């Protein structure tokens, strides 16, 4: 392609191939290497929009490919070179959240020589990990956490702010400004930084089921693990565990992923401490994903008994003088059974922390369950929709500690791709306002998901090109047609329609 551009002195390029989502950047770089403006490129997506959807009719697929290419050629003739803005990068990172994810992300950046400010809303670092004891593999969480906190607090490039709350956020990739209230004063501080990593964590669901708050014999798996560490299992003869507490219901339809392995981890620990103890696990589906299946197999071999129950008729629990009585339906025997136990462990799921205020301030997308949402589950798994902001740990979704560490390192690695450059080139695909047509109706201000447009002193809408994401919503909504999106201007789109309908009307 480079040889053809140079030989024929081309001034526009049309590529008929697959999706621009994955390959547009490659072809743009090709144009730039030959001295052409990279926005003089048009792609016809004859894979996703043609060959894939018409795989059973090659003839019609070929005809459609011709039409798509004709439309692309027509648009190419309307393209104009666009100039991109270059900005300097503030080579400092802000990490929101001081749990395992936040601390690992901070270390990942600081060990590469970048200054990091770590903001934690609680009095101490550690987050949810402060309540954990051991992993299913047998690793001591508190020993690991103590070493991690010591590395963070003594690192010369990491500044830790505890009892800190984000109250303001502005700027764009490479040049963010975050306002933080730091206690116990409190005093307000402005932090200038180039990237942001969100690692605000999650919490254990506090059960409302099975008289959790009314009986010392009913506890969560996290509390049971603490009990086993501090008091052992010699006083436990019969233990029952009920899965999917706070998960896979109307309020939280998703699986929390960690509950099954938590139950099996504690069941194996009980068996190790007291081999004579009986452990019964009541489940809907056992989901020990990946290599954790080996621990499920080991639990069965150790004598842990698994009873499957129908979600429409879960086990019932009643108080007894010296314990608890479970009544449940055995699906194999097809009859009701009763089981007297010393202790009931509830496998409580995870719930997102209350992040609505932070999401509103920083303008971050959330799932229906309150977790922060990545830009693309496969192509950009730790990036958020706003460039320069990344997510990791259980702020993103429920996960194990080893998964949290891996994702934190991934977020730090992605953040490094920004911080390693002294300058960033912003996309030229941004919205432009024709001030003489603008009626200051505020529709663009209300419709922009990133809050970019504002009414300036002259009385018309103004869009900061450094903040604009090029989504085009404001251009589509503007009733006066005062806003156009570069590279997607009206004539550049209408000419494709005219070409498609040529001869048909």
Instruction: Dump pLDDT digits (tens) for 201-232.
Output: 999 999 989 989 888 899 999 999 999 999 99
Q: Which CA distances in Å does 495 have to 74, 433, 498?
A: 6, 22, 5
Per-residue pLDDT, 505: 66
Rounded to the nearest integer, the mean pLDDT of the chain is: 94
**Among 402, 196, 221, CA closest to 394:** 402
Per-residue pLDDT, 431: 96
Contact 203, 258 (CB under 8 A): no
Least confident range from 3-12, 59-68, 319-328, 406-415: namely 319-328
Question: Tokens for 125?
Answer: 């670092």
Opening angle at CA 433, ends 429 and 437, nearest 5: 150
Residue 332 lies in a domain: yes
- 435-465 core/surface letters (b: 16 or more CB in 10 A; e: else): eeebebeebbeeebeeebbeeeeeebbebeb
Phi, psi of 422 (to 5 degrees): -75, -20
Look at residues 423, 450, 477 and tell me which one is the last residue of a structural domain: 423
Contact 248, 288 (CB under 8 A): no
Per-residue pLDDT, 449: 86
Maximum C-alpha span of the chain:
92
How far apart (Å, rounded) are the C-alpha atoms in residues 28 and 25?
5
How far apart (Å, rounded) are the C-alpha atoms in residues 284 and 48?
39
- Do 59 and 178 share a domain, yes or no? no
Residue 499 lies in a domain: no
- Do 14 and 134 share a domain, yes or no? no
How far apart (Å, rounded) are the C-alpha atoms in residues 349 and 252?
9
Is the pLDDT confidence value at 185 over 90? Answer: no
Per-residue pLDDT, 215: 85
- Do 16 and 43 share a domain, yes or no? yes
Beta carbons within 8 Å of 386's beta carbon, 6+ residues apart: 173, 362, 363, 364, 450, 469
Q: How far is CA 383 from the centre of its chain?
A: 7
Residue 492 lies in a domain: no
Query: How would residue 70 be classed by pLDDT, with cut points 50, 70 and 90?
Result: very high
- Do 335 and 396 share a domain, yes or no? no
* Section 142-150 average pLDDT: 97
How far apart (Å, rounded) are the C-alpha atoms in residues 466 and 469?
8
Query: How would residue 184 be classed by pLDDT, with cut points 50, 70 and 90?
Result: confident
Look at residues 349, 368, 395 and tell me which one is the last residue of a structural domain: 349
List, for residues 461-496, the tens digit of each pLDDT value.
Answer: 999 988 898 999 999 999 999 999 999 999 999 999
- Do 135 and 230 share a domain, yes or no? no
Residue 505 lies in a domain: no
Percent of the chain with pLDDT over 90: 90
Residue 470, classed as helix, strand or coil, is coil
Q: How far is CA 261 from the centre of its chain?
A: 22
Is the pLDDT confidence value at 503 over 80? Answer: no
Query: How would residue 197 be classed by pLDDT, with cut points 50, 70 and 90?
Result: very high
Where in the sequence is the domain holding 30, given as residue range(s)?
2-82
How far apart (Å, rounded) are the C-alpha atoms in residues 389 and 195?
6
Within 10 A of 135 (CB to CB), how many other CB atoms are there? 15
Is the pLDDT confidence value at 140 over 90? Answer: yes
- Do 376 and 405 share a domain, yes or no? yes
Contact 393, 409 (CB under 8 A): no
- Do 217 and 330 share a domain, yes or no? yes
- Do 233 and 340 share a domain, yes or no? yes
List, for residues 408-453, the tens digit of each pLDDT value.
Answer: 999 999 999 999 999 999 899 999 999 999 999 999 999 998 889 9
Look at residues 26, 57, 82 and tell me which one is the last residue of a structural domain: 82
Residue 491 lies in a domain: no
Residue 57 lies in a domain: yes
- Do 250 and 340 share a domain, yes or no? yes
Strand partners, 470: none
Q: Tell me the residue ranges of DSSP E strands in 104-174.
A: 115-119, 158-161, 164-172
CATH classification of the domain holding 407: 3.50.50.60
Residue 494 lies in a domain: no
CATH classification of the domain holding 454: 3.30.70.20
Query: How would residue 270 be classed by pLDDT, with cut points 50, 70 and 90?
Result: very high
- Do 103 and 231 share a domain, yes or no? no
Q: Specify the higher pLDDT residue, 281 or 322.
A: 281
- Do 245 and 257 share a domain, yes or no? yes
- Do 225 and 313 share a domain, yes or no? yes
Per-position DSSP letters for 68-105, written without gaps between them: HHHHHHHHHTT----PPPEEE---EEEEE--BHHHHHH
Per-residue pLDDT, 439: 94
**Going edge to edge, which strands form the sheet with 335-341?**
316-320, 323-330, 335-341
Sign, Cα dihedral of 212, 217, 220, 226: positive
Q: Can you give the pTM of this predicted structure?
A: 0.85
Is the pLDDT confidence value at 350 over 70? Answer: yes
Domain total for the chain?
4
Per-residue pLDDT, 113: 96
Residue 503 lies in a domain: no
């Amino acid at each position: 392609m480079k040889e053809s551009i140079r030989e024929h002195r081309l001034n526009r390029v049309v590529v008929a191939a697959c999706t621009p989502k994955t390959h547009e950047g490659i072809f743009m770089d090709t144009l730039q290497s030959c001295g052409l403006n990279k926005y003089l490129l048009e792609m016809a997506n004859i894979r996703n929009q043609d060959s894939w959807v018409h795989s059973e009719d090659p003839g019609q697929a070929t005809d459609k490919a011709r039409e798509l290419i004709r439309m692309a050629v027509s648009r190419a003739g309307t393209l104009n070179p666009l100039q991109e803005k270059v900005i300097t990068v503030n080579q400092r990172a802000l990490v929101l959240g001081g749990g395992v994810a936040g601390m690992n992300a901070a270390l990942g950046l600081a060990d590469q020589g970048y200054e990091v400010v770590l903001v934690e809303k609680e009095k101490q670092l550690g987050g949810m990990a402060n309540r954990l004891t051991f992993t299913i593999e047998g690793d001591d969480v508190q020993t690991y956490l103590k070493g991690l906190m010591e590395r963070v607090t003594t690192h010369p490039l990491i500044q830790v702010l505890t009892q800190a709350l984000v109250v303001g956020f502005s700027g764009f990739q490479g040049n963010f400004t975050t306002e933080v209230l730091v206690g116990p004063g409190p005093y307000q501080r402005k932090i200038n930084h180039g990237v942001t990593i969100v690692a605000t964590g999650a919490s254990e669901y506090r059960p409302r089921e099975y008289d959790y708050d009314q009986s010392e014999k009913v506890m969560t798996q996290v509390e049971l693990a603490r009990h086993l560490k501090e008091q052992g299992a010699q006083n436990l003869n019969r233990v029952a565990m009920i899965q999917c507490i706070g998960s896979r219901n109307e309020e939280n339809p998703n699986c929390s992923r960690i509950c099954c392995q938590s139950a099996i981890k504690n069941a194996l620990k009980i068996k190790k401490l007291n081999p004579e103890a009986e452990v019964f696990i009541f489940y809907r589906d056992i989901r020990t994903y990946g290599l954790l299946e080996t621990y499920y197999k080991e639990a069965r071999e150790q004598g842990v008994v698994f009873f499957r129950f129908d979600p429409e008729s879960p086990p019932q629990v009643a108080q007894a003088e010296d314990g608890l009585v479970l009544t449940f339906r055995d699906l194999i025997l097809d009859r009701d059974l009763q089981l007297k136990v010393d202790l009931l462990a509830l496998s409580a799921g995870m719930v997102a922390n209350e992040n609505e205020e932070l999401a509103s301030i920083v303008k971050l997308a959330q799932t229906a369950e309150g977790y922060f949402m990545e830009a693309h589950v496969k192509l950009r798994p730790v990036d958020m929709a706003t460039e320069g902001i990344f997510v990791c740990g259980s702020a993103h979704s429920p996960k194990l500690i080893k998964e949290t560490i891996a994702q934190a390192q991934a977020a730090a690695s992605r953040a490094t791709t920004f911080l390693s450059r002294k300058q960033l080139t912003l996309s030229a695909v941004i919205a432009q306002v024709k001030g003489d047509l603008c009626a200051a109706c505020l529709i663009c201000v209300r419709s922009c998901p990133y809050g970019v447009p504002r009414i300036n002193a002259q009385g018309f809408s103004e869009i900061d090109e450094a903040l604009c994401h090029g989504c085009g919503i404001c251009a589509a909504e503007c009733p006066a047609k005062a806003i156009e999106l570069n590279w997607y201007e009206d004539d550049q789109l209408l000419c494709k329609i005219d070409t498609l309908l040529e001869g048909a009307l």
